[in-house]
């Protein structure tokens, strides 16, 4: 993986820009403290995402989620007693000049010291007919891991939020015929000693949108040259279908999102037909004739 070059985008703020940045940061401390900041710190503690001595590469795509995550990490650095380091990195896979400028301008206005490194991922997948988005995502992840490791980081942080998690659960069930979800953290299989973490795991997308609008911010929605002009990409359309399905279910079950999320925390292996673990497939028949555990005597009969 060859990165073409890297740069840091710093720069002092004007008085107006300084006031804008303070307003955005202060909103996280006050107006959005319960809905964003507290859920961010809860995920860090509950899933042990950041530990003493960590060096985290916060990966910024230019969208609302990853940019908010960067601001949250800046707040965490200011007030946390846990010693850790942060680098704010942006991978340019071949953005248009306008999209590149928007990322740089947002970083300046929010005073995020981003480091941009360039790749040619868009050029590499432009002629791929099958699953170009899947290939692009894999290449992005590889470049992020590689660059983060060059910086001495042991973790990369991505901006997936609560709604991404529950949508992934349903997409896996309805389109992939499997039950799985995004984990809050996982070890890299290709980069030894590296971890991926998702600090926005418990933050709702609606609250991220409210923070964006409250601060009059504009972010990239989808900077891919294949989908930025339309929503015809299959993956995007499937996720849109799932969003619509959840919105429809909420009309009669307001807690449906929480129920979906909790479903993967309460998987009962005693009542599933099959499962995978460690790359091996298992079925209920593997232990069907085993003696029941003592607790089974009090088990209620299900009708």
CATH number of the domain bearing residue 219: 3.40.50.620
Asked whether residue 265 is assigned to any structural domain, the reply reads no
- Cβ atoms of 10 and 113 closer than 8 Å: yes
Characterize the bridge pairing of strands 274-277 and 195-197. Answer: unpaired
Asked whether residue 273 is assigned to any structural domain, the reply reads no
Tens digit of each residue's pLDDT (9 = 90 or more) over 214-263: 999 999 876 565 555 444 455 568 889 999 999 999 999 999 999 999 99
User: What's the pLDDT score for residue 127?
Assistant: 63
Asked whether residue 29 is assigned to any structural domain, the reply reads yes
- Cβ atoms of 23 and 110 closer than 8 Å: no
Tens digit of each residue's pLDDT (9 = 90 or more) over 152-173: 999 999 999 999 999 999 999 9
Enumerate residue ranges in the chain where pLDDT < 70.
1-11, 122-135, 222-236, 295-303
Asked whether residue 202 is assigned to any structural domain, the reply reads yes
35 secondary structure, DSSP code: I
Question: Which residue range is the domain that position 201 belongs to?
Answer: 6-260
| Closest residue by Cα to residue 36 from 261, 167, 214, 245 | 214
Asked whether residue 267 is assigned to any structural domain, the reply reads no
Asked whether residue 274 is assigned to any structural domain, the reply reads no
User: What's the pLDDT score for residue 278?
Assistant: 86
User: What's the pLDDT score for residue 259?
Assistant: 96
Q: What's the chain's average pLDDT?
A: 87
User: What's the pLDDT score for residue 302?
Assistant: 44
pTM score, whole prediction: 0.87
Asked whether residue 16 is assigned to any structural domain, the reply reads yes
User: What's the pLDDT score for residue 41?
Assistant: 97
- Is the C-alpha dihedral spanning 10, 15, 21, 22 positive or negative? positive
| Closest residue by Cα to residue 110 from 20, 28, 209, 29 | 20
How many domains is the chain partitioned into structurally? 1
Asked whether residue 283 is assigned to any structural domain, the reply reads no
């Amino acid at each position: 993986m060859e990165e073409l070059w890297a740069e840091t985008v710093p720069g002092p703020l004007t008085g107006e820009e300084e006031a804008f940045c303070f307003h955005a940061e202060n909103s996280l401390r006050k107006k959005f403290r319960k809905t964003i900041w507290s859920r961010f710190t809860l995920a860090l503690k509950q899933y042990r995402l950041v530990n003493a001595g960590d060096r985290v590469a916060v990966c910024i795509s230019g969208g609302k989620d990853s940019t908010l995550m960067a601001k949250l990490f800046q707040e965490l650095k200011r007030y946390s007693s846990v010693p850790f380091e942060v680098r704010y990195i942006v991978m340019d896979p071949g953005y248009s000049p306008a999209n590149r400028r928007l990322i740089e301008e947002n970083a300046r206005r929010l005073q995020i010291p981003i480091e941009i490194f360039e790749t040619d991922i868009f050029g590499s997948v432009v002629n791929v007919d099958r699953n170009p988005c899947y290939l692009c995502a894999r290449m992005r992840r590889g470049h992020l891991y590689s660059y983060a490791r060059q910086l001495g980081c042991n973790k990369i942080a991505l901006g997936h939020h609560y709604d991404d998690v529950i949508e992934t659960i349903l997409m896996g069930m309805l389109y992939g015929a499997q039950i799985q979800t995004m984990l809050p953290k996982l070890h890299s299989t290709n980069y030894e000693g590296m971890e991926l973490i998702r600090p926005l795991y418990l933050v709702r997308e609606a609250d991220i949108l409210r923070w964006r609008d409250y601060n009059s911010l504009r972010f990239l929605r989808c900077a891919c040259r294949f989908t930025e002009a339309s929503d015809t990409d299959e993956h995007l359309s499937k996720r849109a279908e799932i969003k619509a399905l959840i919105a429809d279910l909420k009309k009669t079950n307001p807690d449906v999102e929480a129920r979906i999320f909790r479903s993967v925390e309460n998987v009962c292996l005693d009542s599933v037909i099959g499962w995978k673990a460690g790359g091996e497939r298992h079925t209920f028949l593997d232990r069907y004739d085993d003696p029941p555990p003592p607790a089974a005597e009090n088990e209620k009969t299900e009708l």
